[in-house]
Amino acid sequence: MQSEASVLEQNTLVKELPRIDIIGSRVTAASFDVLNEVILDWAKQRLSKCICVANTHMLVEAHRRPSFGEIVQQADVVTPDGMPLVWMLRILGAKNQDRVAGLDLLQDLCCKAEKEKVSVYFLGSMDLILQKMRTRLQVEYPDLVIADMEPLPFRPLTAEEDDALIQRVNASGAGLVMIALGCPKQECWMAAHKDQINAVMIGLGGAFPVYAGIHRRASGWVRHMGMEWFYRLIQEPKRLWKRYASSIPVFIYLAIKQLCYRFASLAFK
Give the span between the Cα atoms of 24 and 55, in whole angstroms.
Answer: 13
- Please list, residue by residue across 249-268, b when 16 or more beta carbons sit within 10 angstroms of its beta carbon and e when fewer do: ebbeebbeebeeeeeeeeee
Q: Count CB atoms within 10 A of the CB of residue 56.
A: 27
State residue 232's pLDDT score: 75
Query: Dihedral sign, CA of 51, 55, 58, 59?
Result: positive
Average of pLDDT values for 52-56? 96
Is 230's pLDDT higher than 80?
A: no
Give the span between the Cα atoms of 217 and 207, in whole angstroms.
Answer: 9
Average pLDDT, the chain: 90
Average of pLDDT values for 47-62? 97
Tell me how far apart the terminal alpha carbons of the chain are, to the nearest angstrom.
27
CB 150 within 8 A of CB 131: no
Average of pLDDT values for 207-216? 92
State residue 269's pLDDT score: 67
Question: How do beta strands 25-28 and 200-203 pair?
Answer: unpaired
More confident residue, 160 or 215: 160
CB 211 within 8 A of CB 107: yes
Question: How do beta strands 19-22 and 25-28 pair?
Answer: antiparallel
Q: Which of 5, 19, 13 minimizes the C-alpha distance to 80?
A: 19
Among the residue ranges 8-22, 95-109, 141-155, the one predicted with the least confidence is 8-22
Indicate the pLDDT class of residue 80, thresholds 50, 70 and 90.
very high
Indicate the pLDDT class of residue 9, thresholds 50, 70 and 90.
very low
Indicate the pLDDT class of residue 5, thresholds 50, 70 and 90.
very low
State residue 2's pLDDT score: 41
- Residue 125 is classified by DSSP as S
